[in-house]
């Protein structure tokens, strides 16, 4: 991830953050939601590679739409997220059908939100789980 542009890194961070607070531990032995015990540094090597690959593909395939999105998105600035971190959140939420995402952000025109939502859904669902090593896998 070190060689990626900063806005790519922001996107990946936002994606990971959303994956943690929206994913639960099915066994609920350690926590209900993964962000209660884990952070963005707890993904195993394979999961990190998968996340980076998916995010980079999405960023490259939707570059112009994401630039427009970043220029226009309205969100709670108290969250201290960059526009690309918010976009990473929306990619995770939309691809996994969480009922929120690109299509419902303030400041985003319907056509733009729908294009990014459709592109997200094309990636299919992605699930995070705690593996036997107590790190996070996909």
Most confident residue range from 45-54, 72-81, 123-132:
45-54
Q: What is the DSSP string of 102-133?
A: GGG-BT--HHHHHHHHHHHHTT-----EE-TT
pLDDT digits (tens, 9 = 90+) for 1-23: 678 889 999 999 999 999 999 98
**Torsion 32-11-134-36 (CA) sign:** negative
pLDDT digits (tens, 9 = 90+) for 28-64: 666 678 888 899 999 999 999 999 999 999 999 999 9
Q: What is the DSSP string of 39-90?
A: -TT-B-HHHHHHHHHHHHHHHHHTHHHHHHHHHH-B--GGG---HHHHHHHH
Residue 3, both tokens: 């060689």
């Amino acid at each position: 991830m070190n060689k990626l542009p900063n806005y790519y890194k922001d996107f990946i961070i936002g994606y990971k953050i959303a994956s943690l607070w929206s994913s639960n531990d099915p066994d609920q032995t350690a926590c209900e939601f993964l962000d209660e015990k884990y952070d963005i540094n707890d993904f195993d090597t394979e999961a990190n590679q998968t996340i980076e690959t998916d995010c980079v593909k999405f960023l490259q395939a939707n570059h112009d739409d994401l630039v427009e999105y970043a220029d226009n998105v309205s969100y709670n600035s108290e969250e201290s997220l960059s526009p690309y971190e918010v976009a990473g959140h929306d990619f995770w939420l939309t691809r996994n059908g969480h009922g929120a995402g690109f299509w419902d952000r303030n400041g985003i025109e319907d056509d733009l939100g729908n294009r990014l939502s459709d592109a997200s859904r094309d990636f299919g669902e992605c699930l995070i789980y705690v593996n036997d090593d107590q790190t996070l896998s996909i």
